[in-house]
């Protein structure tokens, strides 16, 4: 099934190269064809390591965050309201685009669009957003803020305010970072708590009583409870507080350092 997804993805990706798309968009799709050829060649060797590397390279290409669309083309599938944003969902071949409209001066234009209208757009695509490997290979999806957009029947594009886009991108990056932080803190704190319990490795941590609080620029407090057995085999519930410092390293990785563990 996985191999079928790989083949079908690149077949559909290349099938969207017509319809008058600009050269850069066509070249982007042709680059996908290079990855498809590499995957086929790797499979021909019978070496599983070569296959995995070729497939990994293909996904890395899709998920690069530097992809820039300049006057790319697509056909509108759907217009929807997401919180205070208007999303224009469009497609070229089997490649999908979800364009987030947040500038109030552009929302009226976006809201009046219809399925089947052909548009031209520009902006940073960002990384492919499918959550599963098969989804990413079969129907790649890019969700992003277009900075310019127009109907093909219109002469001039309309633009979203650079200031509004910059603020939205910064907010999105901050939310993404905090989500990563909330995922990194618990296992580090749990390991530190286990070292303080006797006997070790007899602890069961709660998934329902987790609590996070930011106390400084890089400082967080994480609270949770743990059921731990003593030497006699009896179970006691402890509530604990874990104080950590979280820093973002130059390589993009997070460093979580436990400063103290306090049993409440």
162's CB contacts (< 8 A; 6+ apart) are: 147
CA distances (Å), origin 108, targets 105, 160, 182: 7, 12, 37
Provide the token pair at 54.
């070729």
What Rg, from alpha-carbon coordinates, does the chain have? 24
Would you give per-residue pLDDT tens digits along the chain (264 residues)?
A: 444 334 344 444 444 455 678 888 888 777 777 877 887 888 888 888 888 888 888 777 766 656 789 999 999 999 999 889 999 999 988 778 999 999 999 999 999 999 999 999 999 887 665 544 343 344 457 889 999 999 999 999 999 999 999 998 888 888 888 988 999 999 999 999 988 887 665 778 887 778 999 999 899 999 999 988 777 777 888 899 999 999 988 877 889 999 999 998
CA 75 to the chain's CA centroid: 24
Question: Please, what CATH class does the domain formed by 2-160 belong to?
Answer: mainly beta
Dihedral angle over CA of 126, 132, 133, 138, nearest 10: -80
Query: Looking at residue 136, what is its pLDDT?
Result: 39
pLDDT of residue 133: 39
Domain with CATH 2.40.50.140 in the chain: 2-160
Q: Are β-strands 211-214 and 68-82 bridged in parallel, bridged antiparallel, or unpaired?
A: unpaired
Question: How far is Cα 69 from Cα 25, in angstroms, rounded to an integer?
Answer: 7
Q: Report whether 145 contacts 88 (CB < 8 A).
A: no
pLDDT for position 15: 45
Q: What is the pLDDT of residue 19?
A: 61
């Amino acid at each position: 099934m996985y191999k079928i997804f790989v083949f079908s993805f690149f077949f559909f990706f290349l099938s969207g190269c017509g319809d008058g798309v600009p050269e850069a968009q066509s070249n982007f799709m042709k680059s996908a064809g290079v990855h498809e050829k590499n995957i086929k060649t790797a499979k021909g060797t019978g070496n599983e390591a070569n296959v995995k590397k070729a497939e990994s390279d293909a996904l890395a290409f899709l998920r690069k965050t530097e992809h820039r669309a300049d006057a790319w083309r697509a056909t509108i599938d759907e217009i929807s309201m997401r919180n205070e944003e208007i999303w224009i969902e469009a497609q070229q071949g089997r490649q999908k685009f979800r364009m987030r409209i947040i500038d109030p001066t552009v929302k009226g234009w976006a809201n009046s669009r219809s399925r089947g209208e052909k548009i031209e757009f520009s902006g940073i695509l960002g990384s492919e957003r499918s959550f599963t490997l098969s989804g990413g290979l079969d129907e790649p999806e890019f969700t992003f803020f277009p900075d310019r957009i127009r109907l093909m029947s219109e002469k001039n594009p309309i633009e979203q305010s650079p200031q509004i886009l910059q603020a939205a991108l910064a907010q999105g990056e901050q939310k993404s970072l905090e989500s990563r932080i909330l995922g990194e803190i618990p296992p580090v704190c749990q390991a530190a708590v286990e070292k303080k319990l006797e006997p070790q490795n007899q602890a069961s941590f709660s998934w329902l009583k987790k609590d996070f609080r930011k106390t400084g620029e890089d400082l967080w407090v994480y609270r949770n409870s743990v059921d731990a057995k003593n030497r006699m085999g009896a179970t006691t519930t402890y509530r604990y507080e874990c104080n950590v410092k979280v820093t973002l390293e130059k390589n993009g990785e997070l460093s979580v350092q436990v400063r103290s563990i306090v049993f409440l």
